[in-house]
Structure formats: structure tokens, C-alpha cells
Amino acid sequence: MNLFTVLEKGFPRDKSSCAIETSDGLYYSWDDLEKATSKLANLLASLKLPKGARVAVQVEKSPEALFLYLATIKAGLVFLPLNSAYQATEMEYFLDNSKPAVVVCSPNCFSWLSKLAFKSGTQQVYTLGERRDGSLLERAASHSNQFDTVTMKDEELAAILYTSGTTGRSKGAMLTHKNLSSNAQVLQKYWSWKKGDVLLHALPIFHVHGLFVASHGALINGSKMIWMPKLDIDQLIKFLPRSTILMGVPTFYTRLLADSRFTKEVCKNMRLFIAGSAPLLAETFNEFIEKTGYTILERYGMSETVMLTSNSYSGRRVAGAVGLPLPGTQVRVMNEQRQLCKVNEVGAVEVKGPNIFVGYWEMPEKTKEEFTADGWFKTGDVGRWGGENTSGKVPDDYLCIVGRSKDLIISGGYNIYPKEIESFIDDMPGVQESAVIGIPHPDFGEAVVAIVVPKPGCNLDGAAIIADLKGRIANFKVPKRVAIVSELPRNAMGKVQKNILRQDYQTT
């Protein structure tokens, strides 16, 4: 079934009620949402694209960007969201790899992005600005505000989400209508969404957390969203008293806790605070209880799988644990002998279920590598059931993520693959080699640091390397610090010992 049909079943009967209130004072009713979505779906349908054609979107967050997503799904096309921080080199790869039929970009990026898009074979490039400006809405305006949702099979594609790879090349995770609708239905029940819930939405909508987990949750429950273009603590504190649910990466919670205006009173209407995308520190978990009386619910997921596990809504929420497998999802932890780990034994986390993606876009070999022979997806995360952590005993059926087998840094909820940054630095003149590591950071959880070795006789300047990278890759990937050294520590096999570097560079 089309994902839109599943979501639409939850829309309220009273279509004049508010679906989205923006932090700058605009109100969109459910009727507005449906009509705008239908107009956009009609525009897309008028292009007569085959099922499965990709609509790649790199725009800033706005209600219209959400309507464009819903319209793409409604029209039976494949939505491909891209982080608005990505720069030309990164975009060129995504467009070449995915060959979208339609590209929608911010008006100020049109001149360079349209060139890249047409070069990769795109037929149409529209623009969509943050304030309802751009050619997309102009073109959609003349179309009908009625559209019959295209019938889709469960296994047909709804979205492709690029996730970085350990080799430095991003892979497009293909998610089906069933992957997304089953997860939305499960989470609605599991987190006990209620009539009258109001979601405070401050996450970006180009990744799983903000687009699927948060938006789907409100849509399928017919709940209002208070819509913020990005995290702004003043605005968050202003709107919390009128909200009941907040979803955020751990940085949301550490920033709230650091603000003296964040009090019990501000939270008085709240029902649920949810954290994910990166580990929530036990000290944040505990401080939050102390300051507000609320226990943050931590959950765990991936772009390839949407949500996998969650702490209990009505039962226990444990610091440092990501909880129980969601209904319908199977999770196993395997040791090196390929046996199921016992409680407290650390191993590789593997998963199965209706929410698991169907493969990486045009990478059948890579897809095969990431699944076991018996069909389990290898998450690359390292975990254990139960055991003990700094907060005490963890229930035996609760999963703890204790590390990653993939060389990955998670900074403020964004995944950064060191290999990608290293290859940019290694290509710079005068650079012999580099190693990129993540170190603890009070705001972002982890921060990127690069350790660079110059070629003999060359002088390098860390600040110049940072400035160069800022012009070429998404800003969140740029190292917060670059250290120049004469050599990198290596083991007997010649492999760079990143654990030693992480110890040596513990602070930025």
C-alpha cells in the first residue's frame, strides 16, 4: 500500500484544524496540507515519469518541503533528500549516482546545482526557498488541488537515503513503502501517541530522524506539529509549554540543560522527550530527571532500518541502553564464532524485520556484503544484552550499544566517515597522509579532529587546511582542529593506531 494512504488514515476529520504552526507564526490546516500536497503531486505527475523515478531535493526546511516529500510519495515517485550543507563535490556524486529525473534546490544554489543536475541527465530543476519562493510552487499553483494517490505495492521504493560508507563512498539506502509505513505504525503504538499530542519539530528533514520518525509520527496520528526551521534554544523554550512531544539528538538535551530558563514549568504539558541518532550520555539522562522530573526515552535506529529498538514507554527507561527490539523487529548480537551472545557478552548487532531496507542503490555487491547468508542486516554497531553500566544493572532484554565496528564519527547526530575527510586532506598539496578521529565534545558528543603528516620539506598550516575543507565539504564534517605531526603511530602490521591518537588528542 502507498505510504501516503497509511499516513492519511490518521489525519483528523476536522480538516480545518491546525496541522502545522510555524515558529514565525503561520498556520497550515490539514486542508492546506492536503491541497498543497495534491497540487505538487499533480505537477510531478504532469511530467509523466515512470514509477521509480527519483526526485532529489536539497532545500532548507519549510512546511512546503514536507509537502513536496508527501507529494512525491503520493505520486508514486522516489524521494531522495539531501542535506542542505552538502557542497558541489558531494552533490555531484549524489546526482551522478542516483540520476534523478527531477531536482529541487534552493533558489540561491540554482546556478551551480542545475548545471550538475543537467549533466547527470536530470530533466527538470525547480527551486524552493524557505519562504514559499521559487519556481516549484509557481508551477504547481495552476494544478488541481485534488489528486488520487497512486497505488503502490508494499515492496516498491518510497525513498533513497544516502549514508556515508567506510570506504568514503556514500551508498543510497533504498526504503520501500512497507519499510516506512510499518515503522510509523509500530512507533505510533509503542510511544503511545495520543489525541491532542503536539510535536515540537526542530530537526532537519533530510534524514530519517526528522523526516520519518518525527514527521510520520505526527502525521499518522493526525497531530499538530510546531515547526522550527532549525534548533534554536530560545524558540524551543518558547514553544515547549505548548507541546507534548520533543524528538532530538543528544545535543538538543545538553543545550536545554545548559539554559537556566529550562525549568519544570516550561515542561508542564510535555508527555515525552525522545533522544536518538547518537549515544545519550548517562549524565545527560540523569541531569534531565533531576531538573525536570522527566525521563528521556532513548531509541536506536539507522538510515537503512528506520527504528530498531526503544526504551519502554510505560516500563523502564535505562541510561546507556537503547531498549527492547520494536514489535516485529528481530535483533541479535553475534560473537566472533558466529554464535548468539549471552547476556553481557559483546558482539555484532544484526537485525531483521519489515523495516529493513532492500539494498543499496545500484550496489548489489555491497548489499550482499552487508547481509548474512540467513538474511540478517549487519548494522556495524557493537552491542550487548543487559550487563552493567555506570547507572547500574541493565535488564537482560535491553540492548546497549557499546561501540562500532565501522570507523564512524557521530557529531551532533550527523554521521561522518573519517575515510572521506582523509581522502580530501590527502589530496592537498604537501600532504603525505592523514588520520581523522572523533574525540569527546561537550556539545556535539564527538568532534572531528585531523592529524596530518606533511611531505618531506613541506610546511603545512592547520588553519589553511580547515579553510580549504570549508569550501569543499559540508561544514559539519570539517575538523574542529587540525594537528600537524611528523608521523602517525602504527602497529606491527603498519595500520594507523587511531586509539593512540584518540588518547593523545582527547580535547579540542
Smallest gap, in angstroms, from Cβ of residue 63 to ligand AMP? 24
The backbone region for 445, taken as left when phi is positive above 0, alpha when psi lies in -120 to 50, beta otherwise, is left
Per rule CB under 6 A, is residue 187 in the interface with ligand AMP?
Answer: no
Smallest gap, in angstroms, from Cβ of residue 412 to ligand MCA? 2
Q: What is the dihedral of CA 8, 10, 14, 16, to 10 degrees?
A: -50
C-beta atoms surrounding 95 within 10 Å: 24
> How many Cα atoms within 13 Å fall on the side-chain side of residue 457?
0
Smallest gap, in angstroms, from Cβ of residue 453 to ligand MCA? 24
Residue from the set 251, 277, 284, 329 that interacts with ligand AMP by CB under 6 A:
277
The backbone region for 142, taken as left when phi is positive above 0, alpha when psi lies in -120 to 50, beta otherwise, is alpha
| Complex with ligand MCA: residue 76 or 413, whichever CB lies closer | 413
Question: Residue 379 binds what, of ligand AMP, ligand MCA, none (CB under 5 to 8 Å, by partner type)?
Answer: ligand AMP
Taking only Cα atoms into account, the Rg of the chain, rounded to an integer number of angstroms, comes to: 23
Smallest gap, in angstroms, from Cβ of residue 414 to ligand AMP? 7
Cell of 506: 582527547
Cell of 148: 488520487
Question: Residue 412 binds what, of ligand MCA, ligand AMP, none (CB under 5 to 8 Å, by partner type)?
Answer: ligand MCA
SS (H, E, C) 430-490: CEEEEEEEEEEECCCEEEEEEEEEECCCCCCCHHHHHHHHHCCCCHHHCCCEEEECCCCCE
Burial label for 142, CB within 10 Å (0-12, 13-18, 19+), is: exposed
Cell of 299: 531509541
Per rule CB under 6 A, is residue 322 in the interface with ligand AMP?
Answer: yes
Candidates 132-140, 266-274, 300-308, 417-425: pick the segment binding ligand AMP (CB under 6 A): 300-308
Per rule CB under 6 A, is residue 420 in the interface with ligand AMP?
Answer: no
Which residue is associated with the grid cell 543510497? 172
Question: Residue 411 binds what, of ligand AMP, ligand MCA, none (CB under 5 to 8 Å, by partner type)?
Answer: ligand MCA
Smallest gap, in angstroms, from Cβ of residue 168 to ligand AMP? 15
Which residue is associated with the grid cell 510509523? 184
Site residue total, ligand AMP (CB under 6 A): 18
Cell of 46: 504532469
Question: Residue 326 binds what, of ligand AMP, ligand MCA, none (CB under 5 to 8 Å, by partner type)?
Answer: none
Smallest gap, in angstroms, from Cβ of residue 213 to ligand MCA? 6
Q: In this structure, what DSSP letter does residue 109 have?
A: G
Question: Residue 475 binds what, of ligand MCA, ligand AMP, none (CB under 5 to 8 Å, by partner type)?
Answer: ligand MCA
| Complex with ligand MCA: residue 205 or 452, whichever CB lies closer | 205
> How many Cα atoms within 13 Å fall on the side-chain side of residue 205?
25
Residue from the set 2, 84, 379, 411 that interacts with ligand AMP by CB under 6 A:
379
Candidates 22-30, 261-269, 293-301, 460-468: pick the segment binding ligand AMP (CB under 6 A): 293-301
Whether 340 and 333 have beta carbons less than 8 Å apart is answered as yes
- Please give the residues from 382 up to 411 whose contact with ligand AMP meets the rule CB under 6 A: 401, 404, 410
Per rule CB under 6 A, is residue 302 in the interface with ligand AMP?
Answer: yes
Within its chain, how far is the Cα of 66 from the centroid?
A: 15
Smallest gap, in angstroms, from Cβ of residue 173 to ligand MCA? 10
Alpha-carbon gap, residue 328 to 326, rounded angstroms: 6
For residues 193 to 212, the per-residue mask of contacts with ligand AMP, x marking binding by CB under 6 A and - elsewhere, is: ---------------x----
Whether 231 and 202 have beta carbons less than 8 Å apart is answered as yes
| Complex with ligand MCA: residue 343 or 467, whichever CB lies closer | 467
Residue nearest to ligand MCA (CB): 412
Smallest gap, in angstroms, from Cβ of residue 222 to ligand AMP? 27
Smallest gap, in angstroms, from Cβ of residue 124 to ligand AMP? 29
Alpha-carbon gap, residue 106 to 104, rounded angstroms: 7
Alpha-carbon gap, residue 284 to 291, rounded angstroms: 10
Please give the residue ranges that form the binding site for ligand MCA (CB under 6 A). 203-204, 207-210, 230-231, 249, 251, 276-277, 301-303, 411-414, 444, 475-476
Q: In this structure, what DSSP letter does residue 59 have?
A: -
Whether 94 and 83 have beta carbons less than 8 Å apart is answered as no
Question: Residue 279 binds what, of ligand MCA, ligand AMP, none (CB under 5 to 8 Å, by partner type)?
Answer: ligand AMP
Which residue is associated with the grid cell 548489499? 367
- Please give the residues from 131 up to 170 whose contact with ligand AMP meets the rule CB under 6 A: 163
Q: What is the dihedral of CA 3, 100, 407, 297, to 10 degrees?
A: -30
Smallest gap, in angstroms, from Cβ of residue 5 to ligand AMP? 26
Residue from the set 92, 381, 420, 446 that interacts with ligand AMP by CB under 6 A:
381
| Complex with ligand MCA: residue 252 or 385, whichever CB lies closer | 252
Alpha-carbon gap, residue 357 to 474, rounded angstroms: 26
Question: Residue 231 binds what, of ligand MCA, ligand AMP, none (CB under 5 to 8 Å, by partner type)?
Answer: ligand MCA
Judged by the rule CB under 6 A, the positions of this chain that interact with ligand AMP are: 163, 208, 276-279, 298, 300-303, 322, 379, 381, 401, 404, 410, 415
